[in-house]
């Protein structure tokens, strides 16, 4: 019993130390938010700001991960190479103003592409999938083509991690080929040290602007899942989502 209490104390001490170490990284970058990273093999976790990590927020474009699986499952698009014709409407980013594929739409977070996909489905279909996936609060709201940007759907950083683990281990209710395809289009970096699978997101509601960076890093020793959520209101500071995340991984000598 004494050994158990000591180990519990030690775990809490390590957690607190990690929390303080991560706080320095956040302060250095002059940003508020949370980060959760978790090992697949040992379930070891590092967390900064657990209260915010447990707060459900709009997923914004991180919802493109489950959304890609849903549209593939419903044959809205057959694979990552099928052409999505641009409707010739000029939009926010130049990179959106051209024909796309699922791969490029995911990479460039092309809003109009995923709104087009959603228009081919229904709120009932999405709500059914959210329940099957146990995704966040499992509510879409009333707007079919923008519920992940400004609707009722909310998810916490801890829940993002759990969803990503199921994606990685292919324990989601989708065909294996679709799970593998989505994991493939999530690849942002690949080198001799690690493979980074990730998705950004930015919720721009006037009352609650925040940026996401979620995914996982595969190294030769382990796979680490991460969910970073930062309070960002300025487009010019969105780079911090990825930069801070990788800084934390380097701090713990994971990469």
Does the annotation mark 61 as catalytic?
yes
Report CA-CA distances (Å) from 23 to 27, 35, 233, 243, 245: 6, 10, 20, 15, 13
Residue among 41, 42, 61, 157 flagged as catalytic? 61
DSSP result, 150-218 = HSS--B-HHHHHHHHHHHHTT-SSS-HHHHHHHHHHTEEEE-SSEEEEEEEEEEEETTEEEEEEEEEEE
Alpha-carbon gap, residue 72 to 80, rounded angstroms: 9
Tokens coding 131: 């329940």
**Active-site positions?**
61
């Amino acid at each position: 019993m004494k050994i158990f209490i000591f180990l519990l104390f030690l775990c809490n001490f390590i957690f607190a130390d990690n929390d303080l170490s991560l706080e320095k990284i956040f302060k250095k970058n002059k940003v508020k938010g949370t980060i959760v990273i978790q090992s697949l093999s040992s379930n070891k976790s590092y967390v900064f700001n657990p209260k915010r990590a447990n707060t459900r927020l709009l997923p914004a474009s991180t919802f493109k991960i489950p959304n890609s699986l849903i549209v593939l499952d419903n044959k809205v698009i057959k694979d990552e190479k099928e052409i999505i014709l641009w409707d010739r409407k000029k939009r926010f980013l130049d990179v959106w103003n051209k024909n796309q594929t699922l791969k490029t739409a995911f990479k460039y977070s092309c809003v109009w592409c995923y709104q087009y996909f959603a228009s081919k489905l229904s709120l009932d279909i999405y709500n059914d999938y959210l329940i099957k996936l146990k995704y966040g609060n499992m509510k879409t709201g009333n707007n079919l083509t923008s519920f992940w940007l400004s609707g009722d759907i909310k998810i916490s950083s801890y829940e993002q991690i759990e969803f990503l683990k199921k994606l990685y281990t292919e324990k989601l209710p989708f065909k294996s080929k679709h799970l593998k395809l989505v994991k493939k289009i999530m690849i942002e970096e690949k080198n001799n040290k690690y493979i980074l699978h990730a998705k950004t997101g930015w919720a721009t509601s006037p009352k609650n602007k925040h940026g996401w960076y979620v995914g996982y890093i595969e190294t030769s020793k382990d796979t680490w899942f991460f969910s970073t959520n930062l309070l960002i209101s300025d487009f010019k500071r969105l780079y911090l989502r990825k930069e801070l995340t990788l800084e934390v991984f380097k701090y713990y000598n994971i990469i």
